[in-house]
Amino acid sequence: MKKPINNPFILALKARNLTVEIHHHSAYQIVLSNDTPFNSTISGVLHERIHGFLIKPHVTHFCVAENGTLNVLNIEPYSTVGLELASRFKENQDYIVFDTPPETNSFFQTPTDSLDINNLVGALLHKLPSIEYDERVTKIVEYIKANYFQSDITPQTFADIVFLSPSRLASLFKEQTGSSLSKYLLWTRLRQAIYLTLSDKDRSLTDIAYDTGFYDLPQFNKYMYEMFGMPPKALKYNSDLIEIY
CA angle 133, 76, 130 (to 5 degrees): 30
- Please state the pTM of the whole predicted model: 0.82
Please, which pLDDT band fits residue 243 given cuts at 50, 70 and 90?
low
Residue 177: its H or E element: helix 166-177
pLDDT above 80 for 164: yes
By residue count, the chain amounts to: 245
**Average of pLDDT values for 129-133?**
77
pLDDT above 80 for 96: yes
The pLDDT value recorded for residue 4 is 36
| Cα–Cα distance measured from residue 112 to residue 97, given in angstroms and rounded to the nearest whole number | 18
What is the full DSSP assignment across 122-148? HHHHHTSPP----HHHHHHHHHHHHHT
Helices and strands in the chain: count of H runs, count of E runs:
10, 8
Are the C-beta atoms of 239 and 232 separated by less than 8 Å?
Answer: no
Question: Structural domains in the chain?
Answer: 10-126 (2.60.120), 135-230 (1.10.10.60)
Tens-place pLDDT, residues 203-227 = 999 999 999 999 999 999 999 888 8
Mean pLDDT is lowest, of 10-24, 45-59, 162-176, for: 10-24
Is residue 47 classed as helix, strand or coil in its secondary structure?
strand
More confident call, 158 vs 83: 158
More confident call, 61 vs 15: 61
pLDDT above 60 for 95: yes
AA letter at 237: Y
End-to-end Cα spacing for the chain? 30
| Cα–Cα distance measured from residue 83 to residue 28, given in angstroms and rounded to the nearest whole number | 10
pLDDT above 70 for 5: no
Nearest Cα residue to 119 out of 108, 129, 131: 108
The pLDDT value recorded for residue 197 is 87
The pLDDT value recorded for residue 111 is 77
**Average of pLDDT values for 20-25?**
77
Are the C-beta atoms of 123 and 115 separated by less than 8 Å?
Answer: no
Please, which pLDDT band fits residue 228 given cuts at 50, 70 and 90?
confident
The pLDDT value recorded for residue 113 is 66
